Amino acid sequence: MRMQWLNALLVIWIHCHMCRTEFELTLLHTNDVHARVEETNKDSGKCTKPPCFAGVARRFTKIKQVRSKEKNVLLLDAGDQFQGTVWFNFYKGAEAAHFMNKLGYDAMVIEGKLKAKLQKKTMFEDEVTALQTQVDKLIALGVNKIIALGHSGFKVDQNIAKKVRGLDVVIGGHTNTFLYTGTPPSTEVPAGPYPFMVQSDDGRQVPVVQAYAFGKYLGFLKVAFDSNGNVVKSSGNPILLDNSTAPDPVIQAEVDAWRKNLANYSAQHVGQTLVYLNGTFEECRFRECNLGNLICDAMVHNNIKYADEIQWNHVSSCILNGGAIRSPIDERNRNGSITMEDLIAALPFGGTFDLVQINGSTLREVFEHSVRRYGGSTGEFLQVSGFQLVYDLSKSPGNRVKSVNVLCTECRVPRYEPLNPKKVYQVVLPSYLVEGGDGYSMIKQQKLKHDSGDLDIAVVASYISERKRVHPAVEGRIQFTSSGIGHRGYMSTILLVWVLWVMFV
């Protein structure tokens, strides 16, 4: 989900008479924790048996260890602490404030979704322009160590490091980017080395870092400055918070106490899954995922209103941004029981599933946008129901949709037909997309009619409850031609480039 830069400039005030010797700073950082207060499994879902990862109690232990060994330690968060589990739905952010204070965070980025509430009254400047103005003011005051902390994504972070004169370090979030130097300690594939060094336009090497997401890692960056405040060395790696780090017992006791209030709300049984509901970041933002299929099928089913001699239903199709899906559901946990807590973790944003009328030509534009930035880990890649899509990623952005078939409604036997650019279609989609979220401005601007729908969690819960048991498959709704490059090919390319970088750099 695309969000404007919400930044903090962290200033280390070192007067000139103190700058004769090298100054070392240790930066601990998190981003995109998304209300993972408790420990998680390797996919950042609920952990029911070892190995477990993350959690505020485990993070506290590691932070305490680092603070006892290192001098000049800052603990920073680059945004999206909130929304993602039942903890946020119940406590509305009070849990984040409480435990962030317990862990002793020094600074954080304002919640990344603030833009949605301010966009009619507040104008956001270009990140580089806004930051340069503030950096210039700080330099004029004699400040010579400046860190940018923000939430716009890895590509924007790199551009900021390149364009903003006088900036020393960039710590970012939003794209859940995993950077690592050496052999990765878990399942995440690095997008590059940690820190990722950017050559700035004013001739400096600027370290850029993120720490994946969900509190699975604690970013650890050591930066050395010379007497003029220039970065002369930067090193580190994200620290995997696994079972080798024991949760702090005092913090864990507080987590357990807060957890008691969630019991009745979160434990409501909805149904059972016989298969793994893959809602992982790596799956749903790159290709068809079976949890996306389940959710989209539920959205269409919720809109089955009537049948007549012409139509078996008024709507047959759904689109859902992959970035809306935030967690898998493991069929091995609790014998496949699906609870409200599981659904809230998978769909944490609390929107509605709405109905729009839209031209076929606009729909094609929508699907082009779905793969415009394919491979960038952004959230606009669409999961679907009632569509058959073929993409050719070897083509340039805007020309990647090879074919679109739509399940007919004006038919006695539903079948797939080629998309007609002149026909008006009804489509179910999240309210977030109706308002142009994830860059889908064409939906907001070109929709012909819009009807608000039911709450997302209620729709999916009802669908699963009716069926009692679910087992969605990956069905080939979304395909890539052999001349393109699918998700596995893309990730293999990243891994190959990373191996070559390690070998030759």
Model confidence, pTM: 0.69
**Cα-atom radius of gyration of the chain, to the nearest Å?**
24
What does the pLDDT read at residue 121? 62
In the chain, % of residues over pLDDT 90:
71
CATH numbers and ranges of domains, the chain: 8-249 (3.60.21.10), 267-493 (3.90.780.10)
Q: Report pLDDT digits (tens) over 167-215.
A: 999 999 988 899 999 999 998 999 999 999 999 999 999 999 999 999 9
Residue tagged 């994946």 (tokens): 212
What does the pLDDT read at residue 113? 53
SS3 content of the chain, % helix, strand, coil (to 5): 35, 25, 45
d(C-alpha 90, C-alpha 345), whole Å: 12
Q: Report pLDDT digits (tens) over 406-445.
A: 999 989 899 999 999 999 999 999 999 998 999 999 999 9
Give backbone dihedrals phi and psi of 321, rounded to 5 degrees, phi first: -65, 130
In sequence order, what DSSP letters do the residues of 347-389 get, joined into one string?
Answer: S-S--EEEEEEEEHHHHHHHHHHHTTTTTS--TTPEEEESEEE
What does the pLDDT read at residue 42? 87
Lowest pLDDT segment from 55-64, 202-211, 248-257, 495-504: 495-504
Q: Report pLDDT digits (tens) over 369-402.
A: 999 999 887 899 999 999 999 999 999 999 999 9
What does the pLDDT read at residue 125? 81
Please state the rounded mean pLDDT for residues 138-161.
95
Average pLDDT, the chain: 88
In the chain, % of residues over pLDDT 70:
88
Q: Report pLDDT digits (tens) over 20-31.
A: 448 999 999 999
1, pLDDT greater than 70: no
Please state the rounded mean pLDDT for residues 33-53.
89
